[in-house]
Amino acid sequence: MKKEDVAKEIQERLDSYYPEVPVPLDHHDPYTLLVAVLLSAQSTDKRVNMTTPELFALADNPFDMAQQDAEDVRAIIRPVGLSPTKSKAIVNLSKILVEKYDGKVPEELELLEELPGVGHKTASVVVSQAFGQPAFPVDTHIHRLAYRWKLSTGKNVQKTESDLKKLFPRSDWNKLHLQIIYFGREYCPARGHDPRKCPICKDFGRKSLFN
């Protein structure tokens, strides 16, 4: 099969497994989503969702967060890891949002990437999930599965993002990115993965998976 045909079949299977895909990070507006996604770096959504209620009780908007001491934020977010760096980023980006954007999260990918602690993946998640703009954020799950399914070379996340954007319809990127994440967690984990039992790898996985 051609790669395009494989991609189409994989998308159909993902649609059957996950016709609806809720955003896994708890939030109530673009700002709280931005903070939650920033916290999720090298952590888990479950851990972040256990941590953000206390953080957002302290401050759930950039005006209040900009007034906080980074050490107080750090004490709350310590369970998610990298708390010294993340706490400073949250407070500093909040100050920028207040001073430069009247407390609103910008909808432009490039402007988001200029904020402290906000990389391309984080910015892509925010524009797709908060503002509905087509984006294909690539996390470790998507990077791993795209390689396993021979949809990308696995060279780096930038290449994976580029390859996937070429294979799938732009209108489906936002949903697909979440579908692949959910599928990876449930059926195609990094460790202990049996490709013979995986609904997609068993048909489209790389031969090396079965060695």
- Please state the domain extents for the chain: 3-21+136-210, 30-129
| CB hemisphere CA count around 42 (13 angstroms) | 9
Residue 207 has what pLDDT? 85
Tell me which residues are annotated as active site: 121, 139
Residue 155 has what pLDDT? 86
Q: What is the CA radius of gyration of the chain?
A: 18
Nearest in space to 139 (alpha carbons), one of 49, 44, 50, 205: 44
Two structure tokens written together for 60 = 């759930």
Two structure tokens written together for 176 = 């697909």
30-129, superfamily in CATH? Hypothetical protein; domain 2 (1.10.340.30)
Q: Using CA atoms, how far apart are residues 195 and 201, in angstroms rounded to an integer?
A: 5
Residue 154 has what pLDDT? 81
Instruction: Tell me the CA distances in angstroms from 145 to 148, 160, 164, 173, 194, one per residue in order.
Output: 5, 10, 11, 15, 13
Name the pTM for this structure: 0.93
Residue 141 has what pLDDT? 86
Q: Using CA atoms, how far apart are residues 137 and 113, in angstroms rounded to an integer?
A: 13
How would you write the pLDDT of the chain (211 residues) with one tens digit per residue?
A: 899 999 999 999 999 999 999 999 999 999 999 999 999 999 999 999 999 999 999 999 999 999 999 999 999 999 999 999 999 999 999 999 999 999 999 999 999 999 999 999 999 999 999 999 999 999 888 999 999 999 999 889 999 999 999 999 999 999 999 999 999 999 999 999 999 999 999 999 998 888 6
The residue with tokens 């993002």 is 161
Q: 3-21+136-210: which CATH architecture? A: Orthogonal Bundle (1.10)
Tell me which DSSP letter residue 168 carries.
Answer: S
